[in-house]
Amino acid sequence: MGLFDFFSKQKKETLDKGLEKTKESMFSKLSRIVAGKSKVDDDVLDELEEVLITSDVGVNTTLKIIERIEKRVAKDKYVDEKELKNILREEIADLLTENNAVDNEDFSVSENVKPYVIMVVGVNGVGKTTTIGKLANQFKKAGKSVYLGAADTFRAAAVEQLVIWGERVGVPVIKQAMGSDPASVAFDTLSSAKSNNADVVIIDTAGRLHNKVGLMNELSKIKKVMDKIVPGAPHEVLLVLDGSTGQNAFEQATQFTAATDVTALAITKLDGTAKGGVVIGISDQFRIPVKYIGLGEGIDDLQVFRRREFVDSLFGE
Ligand SMILES: Nc1nc2c(ncn2[C@@H]2O[C@H](COP(=O)(O)OP(=O)(O)O)[C@@H](O)[C@H]2O)c(=O)[nH]1
Ligand SMILES: [Mg+2]
């Protein structure tokens, strides 16, 4: 069982509320295609395919889902809207869980690895700093001592924002002047964390994807420096993706995972978007696990992604 692994009512409410728009959009489309029909025929399947694709599930994952449904309704063609919803829910849940029977947990911070280092990457504006603040809060609440490193030195506002999160959560933020070497900030952060016997370090970075080689070099340099101070660091490289950008998030996941060794994904801003289906596609298409989902700007609006819970919330009771 993970550190923060209790699924409270409040968490479920946050999840349900966050997925509301995706749900509404998906189900109004679904209702339309099955209205007045009692049979899942080729037309219904074609339209279902369109619903899933326009809900940002992605073409490959959609085709897999349709194939499963085709097989399933082959012998039992007469279904109503409620049954179709149920079939869809079950097939999506099964698809997402079949390769990976064990559901996600929080980052397992081992007592033997000190400090446990998480490097956070992703393009500007996706929610890296916010996710770091929320994560730091979760670790702190679990009794861990946390250090944050402001290695997004590209913009002054980025450093400032992390400092504000540090104050809010009550954890130290190691920073340097804007424009300084990110690897040097990472060095300082890991050194301080180590000498203070901290449990967790989270490093913010700048993600400038316009220059892939430059980004790759910068991230490798930061990693190399970390490994010198804490052998094996970073223990996790968390790629943050903005779920509200739909297929763009897919694209970014493809590019970043090619540029650096990403170990986990976080998909943010699922509240306020109808593109939440992207989580289904990304979770199916990438072998790297979606660990966290962002469901709002608040400090508690970050949850461990659990596939079954997610699908259940999306499809209601
Ligand atoms: N609604 C919503 N907004 C978010 C979420 N995560 C981040 N944001 C907002 O997205 C904007 C950019 O976030 P930030 O952490 O600065 O992104 P960064 O540039 O990647 O560090 C900020 O206004 C955040 O409040 C989320 O899960 N939901
Ligand atoms: Mg930032």
For 85-127, write each residue's pLDDT tens digit.
888 889 998 888 876 555 666 777 777 789 999 999 999 999 9
Q: Which of 132, 121, 68, 56 is nearest to 96 (CA)?
A: 68
CB 241 within 8 A of CB 22: no
Q: How far is the CA of 163 from the centre of ligand 2 (A)?
A: 11
| Residue having the nearest C-alpha atom to atom 19 of ligand 1 | 125
The radius of gyration of the chain's CA atoms, rounded to the nearest angstrom, is 21
Structural domains in the chain plus CATH codes: 3-98 (1.20.120.140), 116-306 (3.40.50.300)
pLDDT band at 209 (very low <50, low <70, confident <90, very high): low
User: Ligand 1 — pocket residues by CB below 6 A?
Assistant: 122, 124-130, 161, 268-269, 271-272, 294-297, 301
pLDDT band at 4 (very low <50, low <70, confident <90, very high): low
Q: What number is the average pLDDT over the span 196-203? A: 97
> pLDDT tens digit string along 8-39?
788 899 999 999 999 999 888 888 887 777 77
Structure tokens at 119: 């490097």
| Residue having the nearest C-alpha atom to atom 6 of ligand 1 | 127
Is the model's pLDDT at 192 over the cut of 80?
Answer: yes
**What is the rounded CA–CA span in Å between residue 119 and residue 131?**
12
The pLDDT assigned to 103 comes to 60
To test the pocket of ligand 1, the residue of 130, 169, 204, 268 to mutate (highest count of ligand atoms within 8 Å of its CB) is: 130
Indicate the burial class of 99 (C-beta count within 10 angstroms; 0-12, 13-18, 19 or more): exposed
Closest ligand 1 atom, residue 302 Cα: 27
CB 240 within 8 A of CB 126: yes
**Bridge partners of residue 22, in order along the sequence:** none
Distances (CA, A) of 62 to 46, 71, 182, 305: 11, 14, 40, 20
Q: How far is the CA of 6 from the centre of ligand 2 (A)?
A: 29
Q: How far is the CA of 91 from the centre of ligand 2 (A)?
A: 37
Angle between helical axes of 278-285 and 59-73 (0-180°, round to 10) = 90
Q: How far is the CA of 34 from the centre of ligand 1 (A)?
A: 37
